[in-house]
Amino acid sequence: MEGIRSANVNGRQPIVTRIGGRSKTEELKSCVLYEKVSLAKKRKTIPRSVYRPYSDARKVMVPLKNRIIQCLSSIQHSRNRLLRAEQLEPVMHDHHYSQLTALTLTKLPLEVWLGIRFLVTVQTEEEETEKVQTDFHNTTEETFETYQDELIHYDDNEVQRIQDDRLVDKDNKVLFQIPMHYRFEGDFSNSDCEETGESNDGWKVVQMSKNKRERLIEHNLSYGLKAMEKEEVDSVMNIWSLSKQEKWTLYLHWRNNYIELQKKLLEEYSDRYKDSCSDLQKRKQDLNLSVVAGTDVVGMTTTGAAKHNYIIKGIRPKIVIVEEAAEIFEAHIFASLAPSVQQLVLIGDHEQLRPKPTYYELEKNYKLDVSLFERLTKNKCPVKTLSIQHRMRPEIASLITPTIYPVLYNHVSVEEYDHIQGVDKSLFFIAHTELELSSNSDNKSHSNRHEAMFLAALCEYFIKQDYDVSQITILTLY
């Protein structure tokens, strides 16, 4: 690609675009499609008719993604934490929700209903001397179920407050009333409770300590209790009159319905998100094609050609050139072609490396190691063979001529290679009798510790002959 980019064709350099990952070559960095698209966005050179649909498709995906994350988070949260009343509203009967939220002294009426939070009167010093103090220092979780049995005194103001907390309809008919055992007087300062900071109209809200609260919630959400059946839920007229266990089973019914609702929403959002992804992919392809348009040469791997086949179809190339074609699977070549192709140029050497299937059985039984290049060559398809080599030392070239190549000439540049320092010959073979380590898998290479130790020592020897580490390369057999 570097050579093509620097060539002079009809007085100008060809426009080159590389499809795929970011280039390791600095010269080609500006030719990578990703960089070209980024630059086109920055310069606002992408046609509005292409960029606007792409931008809109991206914006649609953001809220959908957030909703999916929210649904997943809500489902996970509901399994080990209490939900809020407003979250459960869509799966509750209207009168159940009205009864629950009628308690306006706290932002979390559900926790009061379940016995995790409690209402406490705020007393003045004079009131405190006239009332019986209740010691909650040794209160246990079991006693919270029978608060109605505690010794509590109520004056006229408290009676009026209780009357005010009743939920009545338009005809002043009492629909339900929060039971008295949700209200407590006394000194909670030394108990296993903590204040929430909520207070109103002579009442304050306290709750169980964090550890105690978490243990209670975990126990009721995770062990033993079965959710209340729908028929039983429908028959509940006053949720405040239920026993503690009944409340938790009712809550589990709401929780399970909430999870099912979230799953349905998650499925809906996921389907819409998938559709949005497909739409965004199509818009992104249109954007990429608009940037690639006008390119003289497009370079990519055969894997990239299969992945970005829309580009090949979109730019409608007439000529496809495949380098190292003898090492590429036949199917990969065909995946790189489009109906517009008029000429296919394969460059390679089937006398050297072949395609390498991942599994040996595919190579052995189905001949997948035979490339299209080798197949065409052996079927007498016209081939142009290069007869001058520019890489190997003459000593190495003599080993394959005429054994593999009938005619092969050495370029003058290889005749001028320096002699290897520290050894008598620039080419030699080492024979030994140390066996390779066996391998139980066809996918793993064999290894020979003796050869590895010898090569490590040989490299160390060459370094002592003033060769730099960057000048030494070890090639192993395939």
Q: Higher model confidence: residue 401 or residue 3?
A: 401
Residue type, position 355, single letter: P
- Residue at which a domain ends, from 224, 247, 265: 265
What is the rounded average pLDDT of the residues 365-374? 92
Mark whether 393 and 451 lie in a shared domain: no
Flag whether pLDDT at 157 surpasses 60: no
List, for residues 177-229, the tens digit of each pLDDT value.
Answer: 454 445 444 444 545 677 777 766 667 777 777 888 888 888 888 877 899 99
Signed CA dihedral, 52, 53, 57, 58: sign only: negative
Q: Higher model confidence: residue 7 or residue 256?
A: 256
pLDDT reported for residue 122: 59
For residue 68, being part of any structural domain is answered with no
For residue 178, being part of any structural domain is answered with yes
Query: What is the spatial distance between Cα 58 and Cα 37, in angstroms, rounded to a whole number?
Result: 16
Mark whether 469 and 338 lie in a shared domain: no
For residue 233, being part of any structural domain is answered with yes
Mark whether 322 and 333 lie in a shared domain: yes
List, for residues 380-428, the tens digit of each pLDDT value.
Answer: 898 888 899 999 999 999 999 988 888 999 999 999 999 999 999 999 9
Flag whether pLDDT at 176 surpasses 80: no
Lowest average pLDDT, out of 51-60, 186-195, 354-363, 411-420, goes to 186-195
Mark whether 435 and 407 lie in a shared domain: no
Q: What is the mean pLDDT of the chain?
A: 82
Q: Which of 1-15, 153-167, 406-420 has the highest mean pLDDT?
A: 406-420
Main-chain dihedrals φ then ψ at residue 476, nearest 5 degrees = -105, 160
Mark whether 369 and 392 lie in a shared domain: no
What is the rounded average pLDDT of the residues 308-333? 93
Within 10 angstroms of residue 284's Cβ, the number of other Cβ atoms is 15
Mark whether 353 and 241 lie in a shared domain: no
pLDDT reported for residue 124: 46
Mark whether 156 and 134 lie in a shared domain: yes
**3-state SS track over the chain:** CHHHHHCCECCECCCEEECCCCCCCHHHHHHEHHHHHHHHHHHCCCCHHHHHHHHHHHHHHHHHHHHHHHHHHHHHHHHHCCCCHHHHHHHCCHHHHHHHHCCCCCCCHHHHHCCCEEEEECCCHHHHHHCCCCECCCCCHHHHHHHHHCCCCCCHHHHHHHHHCCEECCCCCEEECCCHHHEECCECCCCCEEEEEEEECCEEEEEECHHHHHHHHHHHHHCCCCCCCHHHHHHCCCHHHCCHHHHHHHHHHHHHHHHHHHHHHHHHHHHHHHHHHHHHHHHHHHHHHHHHCCCCEEECCHHHHHHCHHHHHHHCCCEEEECCHHHCCHHHHHHCCCCCCCEEEECCCCCCCCCCCCCHHHHHHHCCCCCHHHHHHHCCCCCCCCCEECCCCHHHHCCCCCCCCCCCEECHHHHCCCCCCCCCCCCCCCCCCCCCECCCCCCCCCECHHHHHHHHHHHHHHHHCCCCHHHCCCCCCC
pLDDT reported for residue 418: 92
Mark whether 93 and 152 lie in a shared domain: yes
> Looking at residue 335, which CATH number applies to its domain?
3.40.50.300
For residue 36, being part of any structural domain is answered with yes
Q: Are 205 and 199 in contact (CB under 8 A)?
A: yes
State the total domains in the chain: 4
pLDDT reported for residue 315: 92
For residue 283, being part of any structural domain is answered with no
Domain ranges, residue 100: 76-265
Whole-model pTM?
A: 0.64
List, for residues 101-156, the tens digit of each pLDDT value.
Answer: 888 777 888 988 988 877 766 554 444 434 433 333 333 344 334 333 333 344 44
What is the rounded average pLDDT of the residues 260-275? 96
pLDDT reported for residue 80: 86
Q: Higher model confidence: residue 55 or residue 224?
A: 55
Share of the chain above pLDDT 90, in %: 53
Start-to-end C-alpha separation, the chain? 27
Mark whether 330 and 378 lie in a shared domain: yes
Within 10 angstroms of residue 467's Cβ, the number of other Cβ atoms is 15
Query: What is the spatial distance between Cα 284 and Cα 281, in angstroms, rounded to a whole number?
Result: 5
For residue 51, being part of any structural domain is answered with no
What is the rounded average pLDDT of the residues 37-58? 94
Mark whether 191 and 147 lie in a shared domain: yes
Flag whether pLDDT at 17 surpasses 80: yes
Q: Higher model confidence: residue 8 or residue 280?
A: 280
- Residue at which a domain ends, from 227, 249, 265: 265
Mark whether 161 and 218 lie in a shared domain: yes
For residue 396, being part of any structural domain is answered with yes
What is the rounded average pLDDT of the residues 304-319? 91
Q: Are 66 and 272 in contact (CB under 8 A)?
A: no
Q: Higher model confidence: residue 171 or residue 12?
A: 12
For residue 140, being part of any structural domain is answered with yes
Mark whether 243 and 348 lie in a shared domain: no
Cα separations (Å) of 285 from 39, 54, 171?
Answer: 17, 9, 66
